[in-house]
Structure 1
Amino acid sequence: MIIPVKKRIQIFDTTLRDGEQAPGASLTPEQKIVLAYKLAELGVDVLEPGFPISSPGDFAAVETISRKVQGVEICGFARAVRGDIDAAVRATRDAERRRIHLFISSSDIHLRHQLRKSRPEVVAAAREMTAYARQFCEVVEFTAMDAARTGIDDLIEMVEAVIEEGASIINLPDTVGYALPHEYGEMFRRVRLGARGGEKVSYSAHCHNDLGLAVANSLAAIAGGATQIEVTVNGVGERTGNCALEELVMALETRGDALGAETGIVLDKLYDTSRIISGAMHFPIAYNKPVVGRNAFQHESGIHQDGLLKDRSTYEIMDPERLGIPRSMIILGKHSGRHALKDRAAKYGIALDAAELDALYESFKETADRQKAVSDDELLRMVSTATGQQAQVYELGDVQVLAGSAPRRVAAVTVRHLQNGTEKAYTSTGSGPLEAVIAATSQGIAEHISFAGLELHSLGSGENAQAEAAVMVEWEGSKFRGTAIHQDIVMAAGIAYIAACNAALLSAQVEQVREAAFPVVE
């Protein structure tokens, strides 16, 4: 049996350039350098770290990234203007591998209303500036901006001109997210086959998501002959954003046999990279965001939960753990069934008999009907009541936080060790009340468990709104998640932190029991 060879798609990441152009997403040069390393570790092939001519900070960031970040091609972005090209050339001069990426508009709409130039003038500028850039760099990428709304003959004329002057990569963007997939794919086919020299160069797609079609259009471009896709992490970018790196990569990974294409992205770094970019840009990730959204691998329906517990493939087409996502697929809410409750208790090392499960289920349903979800902390308390066993290791007691205009906040907490019956008070400070409470609480945890992240969400509006906190901790190389719901966001965070620590410690206890029952025989 002959296995067909898949086409290798180059991932061109423009998170730090086009992604940063989203309102409110700007990054400092120092942040860009840190993120550039992360994107290189993710395995992107080309990195566009900024627009050198746009500001001294952007120039410095591109220059530093070019000098320090290895193993990835660095792209200097420029308008088809000598000054822009000069800045891009200088900023990328120390790169291990580099390219110059210049652009000019190609559609009648842009020529008439933005550039206010005739088509011969614009084609002449594209030709002249491509030749100029080619003097300094072997790899020149040319972008015909608004290509998707350009007449095909006009587009071919411009592409032919820049190919003659040495452009080796042609980018045909859907700049305003207007194209339909069949139209976009056909444009690539017609240019590739219709332009003189068109089959001797590579093609790139750069899609925006105004109609929610950026990923679909990018896949259509691949079918039409594109071998490079320009993406951003989390789909950030102008207006509704760009083609999302994680969505494109997982479409190719999941349906690669049908699409005949693959990438070199390191899958288990997708989730962490997504969260780091989200945090740096202060752009929250939608709950229902494909691949990396909070709900992407979480299931509340009892029917779905039952299927997943029997075989993951019943309701999941991707394995979250391959993407670096902690396994927490079962969300306990009013639609959950007994199987999910029994499974969650088992993960904490607690086996429930029929009577205990019935008692737990009755209490659980009553709570779930009153609120959107049941947190780990609440569930463990219910399990303790239903079984008469202490299901928790630690519990957060009294919490007092001193707020005000001073630069540091002071928190005092009590932490109960439920399995040995002790309770102690701890105090600490932090730059905010949440930091102070976490710092104080951590003193009461005997084990060296590291705080790894916090998410806060509102579960309503008005005076009775509650906050849901999700805390991630790391212990002995593994990550554990705890959730809590409270009207006070500080309390929610503190309780969620304790719940995450309990999850880690109870998981360890389960593993110790398993090892004792099934010792390794050498």
Structure 2
Amino acid sequence: MRRVYIFDTTLRDGEQAPGASLTPEQKIVIARRLANLGVDTIEPGFPISSPGDFAAVQQISREIRNVEICGFARAVKADIDAAVRATEDAERRRIHMFLSSSSIHIDFQLRKSREQVIAIAREMVAYAKQFVDRIEFSPMDATRTGDEFLYEMIEAVIQEGATIINIPDTVGYALPDEYGAMFSRVMQNVRGSDKVEFSAHCHNDLGMAVANSLAAIRAGVTHVEVTVNGVGERAGNCSLEELAMAIETRKETLGVETGIRPEHIYKTSQAVSRAMSFPIAFNKPIVGRNAFQHEAGIHQDGLLKNRSTYEIMDPEKLGIPRSMIILGKHSGRHAIKHRVGQFGVQLNEAQLEQLYTSFKELADRQKVVYDQQLLELVGQATERVMEPYTLVSTQLVTGTAGHRMASCTVRDNASGHEAVYTGTGEGPIEALVAGIKQALPFEAEFADLELYSLSGGEQANGEATVTIRVQGASFRGSAVHRDIVVAAAQAFMAACNEAARAKGYQERTEQSIRDGAVEITIP
């Protein structure tokens, strides 16, 4: 297998997306994750752009080992000096320099002659070469640059010591066959091309960044520039997780491999999403919420018989929690029976038919039937309470000043005992969660909250998904309600019930009650 080196520019090009700015501390945390993920090169920022960016690049250069650190610069001496200083403590480093090459950029942005642009490229590469051996040069907007001038610029910088030639599709204009053919022509026609490495940098304006990057790899490129979640200018860059898994899944056909460790993909994706406050689209390949979830009855039936019928990757190998079956109006009896069976409940034919009928009525009114709702329906069919705890009611006092105060009534279904708990917090969700936690016989850390509007207008329902951690394990719960705060509280309660079932708290509580114990001790 030929090795393809992954160059991650999440912290530089990715951060240039409007609203995606990161603090130096956030950059360092993400850089550590990228190193664990197995990227070969990290471009941590644009050192000349701000003192914070300079400090982040410098700290990452000092701390992150076994990964090449790249300093980004325009073809300007001050930029190069800043990049050299910021990366001087790196174990391995390169300088990445860019200069416009297309007519539209040269005529309207640089406003210089072609001869002047070539002279600048030569001078700045030669200047940077005094300090760093590995020099990457990018003719910006290369895919809208004529071949003759592109060859001339690349030849010039190779002569001055550039070691890596990056040919970027800066505005996402190229088609895959065009982009791959461009690399082939450059490699065949540029003198000295056999002495340098080639890199691809693709934007996603037409949705072809991954396809173009694969075309470049097939043309012989050995470095590909990517970002986590595909973040970046305008429609973003080539997505790291999509490219890495395309190569991993089809490596026998492509004949290449990377050093990416798939088991770290999901957590890295989530970390970048949270740090940038950029939600991930539900249908985003690899890391999107729906990427490994199925609602259609035919698909669910096939998956339950053999996962590979409708999945070409194993999400658990990517660090993605397994939630293969999503129950909705398209789900069939087989999927419902399977999900109920996962809760340890066996239904007879009459109970299953009653459940199926009530399930379909609920599914027609809303998009997804959540586990908490399913268990309520199971309880109606079996005449027993399925959930360990029930959030009976909530009340909230809120305002523009001071702490929010909440009270909630929680029922322990094993004993039938109901109690009212109060909590305070700077926000209403924090106050309600503080109250609910007091009802639990275990410590639950509130790890993550996702909120979505399911429709428009003032009467829109809100969907909340909460992730908690209990003894190192993660559990998720979801709920829908017109009041988004109540939805978040119900989702938290659902996650806690998942934890109680998984950790055996419910069974131990019931046994303690059967034994007549007054105090219940949970280790």
TM-score by length of 2: 0.94
2:396 to 375, 398, 401: 401
**Structure 1 residues 452-475: Cα deviation after superposition (integer angstroms, max 9, x where no partner):** 211111111223211111112233
| RMSD over equivalenced CA pairs, Å | 1.6
Q: State how far apart, in whole Å, the 2-side matches of 1:221 and 1:17 are.
A: 22
Q: 1:299 matched to which residue of 2?
A: 294
Mapping of residues 465-484 of structure 1, within 5 Å: 465-484=460-479
Q: In structure 1, how many angstroms separate the alpha carbons of the residues matched to 2:476 and 2:425?
A: 22
How far 1:347 moved relative to its partner? 1.2
Counterpart contact for 1:348–1:507, Cα < 8 Å: no
2:440 matches 1:437: no
Equivalent residue, structure 1, for 2:151? 156
Distance 1:423 1:85 in 2: 67
Deviations 1:384-429 (A, max 9, x none): 1111232110111221222122353222222211112112222222
1:414 counterpart (409, 413, 438): 409
Percent identity, aligned pairs only, is 64
Aligned partners of 2:414 and 2:506 also within 8 Å: no
Q: Secondary structure at the match of 2:284?
A: coil
Matching of residue 505 in structure 1 with residue 503 in structure 2: no
**Which amino acid in the other structure matches residue 359 of structure 1?**
Q
Partner of 1:231: 226
- What 5-or-longer segments of structure 1 have no aligned partner? 1-5, 514-522
Partner residue in 2 for 1:72: 67
Partner Cα distance (2:114, 2:80) in 1: 22
Indicate the residue corresponding to 1:330 in structure 2.
Answer: 325
SS in 1 for 2:390: strand
Letter in 2 for 1:74: I
Cα deviation, 1:333-377, whole Å, max 9, x if unaligned, reads: 111111111111111111112111111100100011111111221
Answering whether residue 81 of structure 2 is matched by residue 99 of structure 1, we say: no
- Residue 300 of structure 1 and its aligned partner are, at CA, apart by 0.8
* Kept after mapping to 2: 8 A contact 1:185/1:223: yes
Asked if 1:376 corresponds to 2:374, the answer is: no
2:450 to 443, 451, 455: 455
Contact 2:388 2:506 in 1 (8 A): no
- 2:49 corresponding residue in structure 1: 54
Q: Residues 96 and 439 from structure 1, CA distance in 2 versus in 1: closer, same or farther, beyond 3 angstroms?
A: farther
Equivalent pair of 1:449/1:501 in contact (CA under 8 Å): yes
Q: How does 1:247-266 map to 2 (within 5 A)?
A: 247-266=242-261
| SS of 2:194 mapped into structure 1 | coil
2:23 paired residue number: 28
Which of 115, 118, 121 is matched with 1:123 structurally?
118
Distance in 2 separating the partners of 1:431 and 1:27: 24
Q: Structure 1 residues 479-488 or 423-432, which shifts more?
A: 423-432
Shift of the alpha carbon at 1:512? 9.1
**Is the Cα contact below 8 Å between 1:271 and 1:292 reproduced in 2?**
yes
Deviation readout 1:438-458 (Å, 9 max, x if unpaired):
222122111233322111111
Q: Distance in 2 between matches of 1:458 and 1:51?
A: 36
Structure 2 residue 289 is matched with structure 1 residue 269: no
Q: What is the rounded CA distance, in whole Å, between the counterparts of 1:435 and 1:464 in structure 2?
A: 24
Gaps of 5+ in 2: 509-523
The one-letter code sitting in structure 2 at the alignment partner of 1:317 is I
Looking at structure 2, the residues matched to 429 and 121 of structure 1 have their Cα atoms a distance apart, in angstroms, of 66
Task: Give the letter for the 1:372 counterpart.
Answer: K
- Kindly state the Cα deviation for residue 509 of structure 1 after the two structures are TM-superposed: 4.5
Partner Cα separation in structure 2 for residue 143 and residue 347 of structure 1: 54
Decide which moves more: 417-426 or 136-145. 417-426
After TM superposition, give the deviation of residue 218 of structure 1 in Å: 0.3
Higher mean Cα deviation, 219-228 or 464-473?
464-473
Deviates more, 1:214-223 or 1:451-460: 451-460
Q: 2:76 & 2:110 partners in 1: Cα distance?
A: 13
Distance in 2 (CA, whole Å) between partners of 1:340 and 1:479 is 24
Q: Residue 109 of structure 2 corresponds to which residue in structure 1? A: 114
- Counterparts of 1:158-177 in structure 2 under 5 Å? 158-177=153-172
Q: Distance in 2 between matches of 1:506 and 1:188?
A: 56
TM-superposed CA distance for 1:510, in Å, is 11
Q: Deviations over 1:176-211 (max 9, x none)?
A: 000000010011111112211101211110000010
**Distance across 1 between alignment mates of 2:401 and 2:319:** 39
- 1:282 offset after TM fit, Å? 1.3
Structure 1 contact 360–382 (Cα < 8 Å) conserved: yes
**Match of 2:351?**
356
The question of 1:183 aligning with 2:175 is answered no
Q: Does 1:141 align with 2:136?
A: yes
| CA distance in structure 2 between the partners assigned to 1:339 and 1:479 by the alignment | 27
Post-superposition shift, 1:493?
0.9
CA distance in structure 2 between the partners assigned to 1:414 and 1:147 by the alignment: 64
* 1:316 aligned partner, one-letter code: E
CA deviations on 1:233-253 (whole Å, 9 max, x unpaired) are 111111101001111011011
Secondary structure of residue in 2 paired with 1:172: strand
Whether 1:8 aligns to 2:3 is yes
Query: In the alignment, which residue of structure 2 is the partner of 1:518?
Result: none
Q: Deviations over 1:247-284 (max 9, x none)?
A: 10110111111111111112111111111111111111
CA distance in 2, matches of 1:364, 1:327: 23
TM-score for both structures, normalised by structure 1: 0.95
